[in-house]
A = this chain, B = another copy of it.
Amino acid sequence: MPRKALYNVAQVLDQAVDVLLEHGFHGAIMDEIIARTDFNRRAFYLEFGSKQQFLYQVLEHYQQQKLAPIISHLTENKGLHSIQAFFDDYIRIVRGRGCLLINCIAELGADDAKIREVGRHYLDNLQISFIGCLERAIRHKQIRSEIQVESTALQLTCYVQGFAINGILAGQTDELKLATQALLGPLSS
């Protein structure tokens, strides 16, 4: 048996997230990606084939590791409380860094159909999860029954994306928490 690889793909993807968040896709150069991950050029191209394919994998990893666990708050579906938990966690993730998926949509979305598809899928999923939560919240009389579920869910979805941008600019996130209260408060019954 030959020598065993020293790197761990999942860990490499984790580290790559930071580099891509800092510089964007085109701004992140291979030298830095190699330097800041436990990785080497040769293995990189054996593993991923190209920088672009690499991006797709990092994005998928990011969704699974960072976003999916948070969205699971919503699919657990404890009504309004789940929505609150989702936003609390989301703020933690994007504070001072933004969201990799949103950044990629903004930088590459117009050009790259794959990115658009991933982005749409993510947003659709988010909206559907919000809808589930809101419906349950209505059944349990946590929120007013006149609320239009679908529009409100889309509204919340837009709001999430706004948080991602704000996260890049805002050092402290206290005001984002305040805004969340202002958002969810009026829904309550």
Residues of chain A whose beta carbon lies under 8 Å from any beta carbon of chain B: 21-24, 26-27, 97-98, 102-103, 105-111, 116, 119-120, 123, 147-148, 150-152, 154-155, 157-166, 168-169, 175-176, 178-179, 181-183, 185-187
Contact = CB atoms under 8 A, between A and B. Distances in A.
Q: Is the interface of A mostly helix, strand, loop or mixed?
A: helix
9 contacts: A23-B110, A23-B111, A24-B24, A103-B107, A147-B182, A148-B182, A151-B181, A154-B176, A161-B166
Contact of A151 (B23, B98, B179): B179
B183 A155 contact: yes
A51 B183 CA distance: 40
- Residue from A97, A150, A183 whose CB has the most chain B CB atoms within 10 Å: A183
Nearest to A112: B27
B162 A119 contact: no
Contacts of A105: 106, 165, 168-169
Given A162-B159, A165-B105, A165-B106, A151 B24 contact: no
Given A158-B163, A158-B166, A178-B151, A106 B106 contact: yes
A157 B132 CA distance: 26
- Residue from A27, A106, A111, A168 whose CB has the most chain B CB atoms within 10 Å: A106
Contact of A159 (B152, B159, B181, B187): B159
